[in-house]
Structure 1
Amino acid sequence: MAAASGFVGAIFGTPSDIANIRMQNDRSLPIQHRRNYKHVLDAWVQMKRHEGWRSFTQGLWPNCFRSGIMTASQLASYDTFKTLLQKWTSVSAESPIIHISASLLASLVATSISSPMDVIRTQLMSASKRVSVLRIVTDLTRSEGYRWVFRGWTPSFVRLGPQTIATLVALEQHKRIYRIIKCGGDEP
């Protein structure tokens, strides 16, 4: 279910991702190739005007697979790390220390697993014309070797780490409050 929710969420988020990536990449382009989007709505208007509706789906499938893989690995590894930390320590299962530690470890796994797809989708979304995934992988491997697989890993982790911790700690607190209200206690 985590993979499916990440996949479906990316379908709706892809146009915003494309605009975001293009706006971030704009300054690295030669002046004559810059898009000069003012904001996301301006980006969408210009994308439709200059490239057509297909531009809103550039990199859609790699973005969906990346989001599905990231969400599934994030949630599955969180549960695994939470169980292992509870087993290896004497800390309570409901301790924020367990939740924060398991979340941090889960964000390491999710960032590492989704990194290659993140690089590919960024290349697809920033391109001015349609290009295949195979062409991107071939070009990246030829120019950088296999190091491209973890290009941008650190900024991705810096973004995903705190987001994962906040999301999963909030989820645990939500579950705790639900148990108190529904079951009349803190026990599952």
Structure 2
Amino acid sequence: MASTSGFLGGIAGNPADVLNVRMQNDMSLPAAQRRNYKNAVDGLFRMSREEGWRSLFRGVWPNSFRAVLMTASQLASYDGFKRLLLEKAGMEDGLTTHFTASFLAGFVATTVCSPVDVIKTRVMSAKEKEGLLVLLRRTIAHEGVGWMFRGWVPSFVRLGPHTIATFLFLEQHKKIYRHLKGVEHDDST
């Protein structure tokens, strides 16, 4: 279910992601190559008008694959880390355990997603359409394997707090739900 929701979310959010990448990248381009979108609405309309509606879905496959990897790696690693902390580290099921497990899950998700993030950003910011395999070959030839973790720290700074907040809120929601329904707490949930 995590993979499916990540995949569908990646598709639905792709137009905004393409626009975000382009707007952030615009100032690094020479003046003649800048797109100079006035705002997000202008950017979406101009992309559709000037490049066709398909431009809104440039990089949709790497983006959706990244969303699958992120969602699945966050959920699976959070549950695994939480279980380890409870069973092996002797921690109690509370905020400290939830924070630690979610921090580690954010670390895993960032590491798993990093190579796809780099490719996705390069595909979305490109002026010309280039095949994924051609892009990969060219990138590896020019940068070696270090390209896979370019931008890892900023990605973690973004994804780490997001993951922590998500799981802290989820655990508090579960606690409130159990209390309201009179359900006994079970460490495996």
TM-score bin (small chain)? over 0.9
Q: What's the counterpart of residue 185 of structure 2?
A: 187
Residue deviations 1:1-46 (CA, integer Å, cap 9, x gap) = 1111011011110000000000000011111000011211111011
Paired residues of 1:176 and 1:186 also in contact (CA < 8 A): no
- In structure 2, the gaps of 5 or more residues are none
Structure 1 residues 1-188: aligned runs within 5 Å: 1-93=1-93, 95-182=94-181, 184=182, 187-188=185-186
Paired residues of 1:19 and 1:43 also in contact (CA < 8 A): yes
Q: CA deviation at 1:186?
A: 5.3
Residue deviations 1:92-114 (CA, integer Å, cap 9, x gap) = 12x10000000000001000001
Q: CA deviation at 1:78?
A: 0.3
Aligned length: 186
- Percent identity over the alignment? 53
How high is the TM-score relative to the length of structure 1?
A: 0.96
Counterparts of 1:149 and 1:158, CA distance in 2: 17
CA-atom RMSD, angstroms?
1.0
Q: CA deviation at 1:128?
A: 1.4
Counterparts of 1:84 and 1:39, CA distance in 2: 46
Paired residues of 1:7 and 1:67 also in contact (CA < 8 A): yes
Moved more, 62-71 or 124-133: 124-133
Paired residues of 1:22 and 1:125 also in contact (CA < 8 A): yes
Q: Secondary structure at the match of 1:130?
A: coil
Q: CA deviation at 1:91?
A: 2.2
Change (3 A) 1:13 1:156: same
Residue deviations 1:45-100 (CA, integer Å, cap 9, x gap) = 1101210111011000110010011100010000000000111223212x100000
Q: CA deviation at 1:185?
A: 5.1
Matched letter for residue 187 of structure 1 = H
- In structure 1, the gaps of 5 or more residues are none
Q: CA deviation at 1:129?
A: 2.0
Paired residues of 1:10 and 1:63 also in contact (CA < 8 A): yes
Q: Secondary structure at the match of 1:89?
A: coil
